[in-house]
Amino acid sequence: MTTEKKVSSYYQIIKVIGSSPESWEKAAAAAVEQASADWQVAACDGVDLAMHIANGKIGSYVAKVTLSCKAVK
């Protein structure tokens, strides 16, 4: 009788911050794109949104993104 070993995987949770002068969507996309350069991003678990205000106007949109990244050996 042969038994197959199940390969389990594990993930690391990282938080990254992206910004854009145009929108929160582009800020979040920038964060994910930058993280994807170094990590194998599997999912986005949460996003916190903020704005930087300069002289009474929106200077930039900020997205603080929590990502699940698959660990690669």
Confidence of residue 35 (pLDDT cuts 50, 70, 90): very high
pLDDT(5) > 80: no
Sign of CA dihedral 39, 40, 44, 45: negative
More confident residue, 72 or 24: 24
* Tokens, residue 5: 């070993």
Mean pLDDT value across residues 49-58: 96
Confidence check: pLDDT of 54 > 90: yes
* Domains of the chain in sequence order: 12-70 (3.30.1660.10)
- Inform me whether the pLDDT recorded for 1 exceeds 70: no
